[in-house]
Amino acid sequence: MDAAASLIADLIAHGVRDLVLSPGSRSQALALAAVHAANQGHLRVHVRIDERVAGFTALGLSRETGVPTPVLCTSGTAAANLLPAAMEAFHSGAPLLLLTADRPPELRGVGANQATTQPGLFGAWVREQIDAPVPGDGDWSGLAERAVAVALGADAAHGLPGVAGPVHLNLPSREPLSGEIPALEITPGDAPTARVAESLVLDRGPRTVVIAGADAGADAEGIAHAGSWPLIAEIVSGARFGRQIVHGYRALLSAEDLGGRIERAVVLGHPTLSREVTRLLSRGDVDVIAVRRGGEALNLNGRTTPAASVSVAPGTADREWLGAWLHASAAHAVDLSERAPDQDGLASSDFTARRDAVKAELAAVRRPLDRALLADAVWRATWPHDRLVFGSSRLVRVADAVLGGKKVPVHANRGLAGIDGTIATATGIALASQAGGSPGVTRVLLGDLAFLHDVGALLLPPDEDEPRIQVIVGNDGGGTIFDGLEVASTADRADLDRAFYTPHTVRLEKLALAYGWEYQRVTTRTALDQVLTAPAGGRQLIEVPLTR
């Protein structure tokens, strides 16, 4: 109990403000110490019964705050359920602390209950793995400081300097597993700052484009602006704003007079949404400079130059190059807004003119939703004080193709682009962004299979603060993303449906009722706009039926 209380206090002293825990016997001392710190106002504790949900909730908290969030669980299969979140954190460069309680060494490998091989469980997907001594046999002091520093890339001797990621603390203990909580003074402190290597200065000479992938953030727009270079920003990048953004970038990258003339690509974040960008970054005749963020360095062409950060040298901008891209971009911009009402027609004394104007207005009000209109409505409803989370569904690719520029905070688990944990991650983002009474709504746009894959994340404890979150599900009754892949042109339709499309008949409103969420089903753009922009309080599940 002394070791557990000291570890929690040390985590708080090094910047930790949130902790996610899943109940269990072997972790009881750590759980009691965490709740004790929460009762004193030093820590926000979030309880989740499903460890996979807990892991992704912690990932969402870490994504939003930039500070490692510990996720605590008991021994056995509980620890294994943290692996998906650990893998995503590793590949996306998000700080995360995996605190797994364990049996003592003498109970490992002898058939003891709920005991397995936990040291090394997360293998290559953690920056560091520490198998702590049993309290009494050794000391836990210093573990928190080291784990936080490594998770943030701030420990030059361990992990990867300048790159964040997950750290595993395996914490064994012997019975008795808890007792009286010791009197311990807790002093909140700040997390260390990662030391970033010297910036790579880019000359202006080559014909350059800036590629902003997932988690690139505003830095990508800043580099494009400084270099007067076209900005190809994925919708999940958080960089789709400013005067240099390129609309319809897939078609323009394939055009010989633009994409074919590229000599250099500067990459920030992790680009994953288009084959055209992948082809560009795989070309041997293009100099690729990639700012490292995740656990793997980007090197698709075998000669990519890694960089901790980049800046632009003074010089004369190539206005002709930028102008050609922006001129072509303007022709590919998509405008899905409704036309303004025909005020003259509505007020006309001519029956035919007034009738036609009324028909046009009724058609606009009754306009059914498709994927593009759904993505556009969510994008337009979201502002800088909100958060927008995209699931790895067909909808994110539609959004990437049709949405314009807007500076809003965007998140997506694109490190591995899995569909798991989307709602849990968004919940963590909502809890972090709304802490301390901050305004805003967290909106999640995802498909029905991604929603069902993480349906357990709808369960929230009744004694915790309820986040303002809107989960918007585009429900087309199955995995229609496979309709656009090679398998759709080769497989038998019945086999395609059974093995890939996986149709379902789940009643989403019943799930909302069971988990205590407000439910709305909308079929028109006007109705969706009203639901998204109405004063939001608490948890809302919004279902939008779509055709295959």
CATH code: domain of residue 50: 3.40.50.970
Q: 535 falls in which pLDDT band (50, 70, 90)?
A: confident
Q: Is 366 a member of any domain?
A: no
- Cα 527 to Cα 520: distance, rounded to the nearest angstrom: 10
For residue range 17-37, what is the model confidence (pLDDT) as tens digits? 999 999 999 999 999 999 999
- Comparing 16-30, 375-389, 427-441, 475-489, which segment has the lowest mean pLDDT? 475-489
Q: Is 412 a member of any domain?
A: yes
The residue from 306, 332, 358 where one domain ends is: 332
The residue from 315, 332, 349 where one domain ends is: 332
The residue from 275, 307, 332 where one domain ends is: 332
State whether 299 and 385 are in the same domain: no
Q: What token pair was written down for 24?
A: 């269990």
Cut 0.85: pTM above it: yes
Q: Is 188 a member of any domain?
A: no
State whether 75 and 122 are in the same domain: yes
- Cα 534 to Cα 548: distance, rounded to the nearest angstrom: 29
* Residue 128 half-sphere exposure toward CB, CA atoms < 13 A: 26
Mean pLDDT in residue range 215-222: 96
State whether 397 and 516 are in the same domain: yes
* Residue 304 half-sphere exposure toward CB, CA atoms < 13 A: 23
Q: Is 328 a member of any domain?
A: yes
For residue range 277-320, what is the model confidence (pLDDT) as tens digits? 999 999 999 999 999 988 899 999 999 999 999 999 999 999 99
Task: Determine the structural domain holding residue 505 and report its residue range.
Answer: 371-545
Torsion of CA 62, 101, 42, 164, to 10 degrees: -30
Contact 504, 475 (CB under 8 A): no
DSSP state of 499: I
State whether 255 and 404 are in the same domain: no
Contact 9, 146 (CB under 8 A): no
State whether 139 and 87 are in the same domain: yes
Q: Which pLDDT value is given to residue 365?
A: 66
Question: In the chain, how many domains are there?
Answer: 3
H/E stretch holding 327 reads helix 319-332
Q: Is 516 a member of any domain?
A: yes
For residue 489, the SS3 value is: helix
Q: Is 339 a member of any domain?
A: no
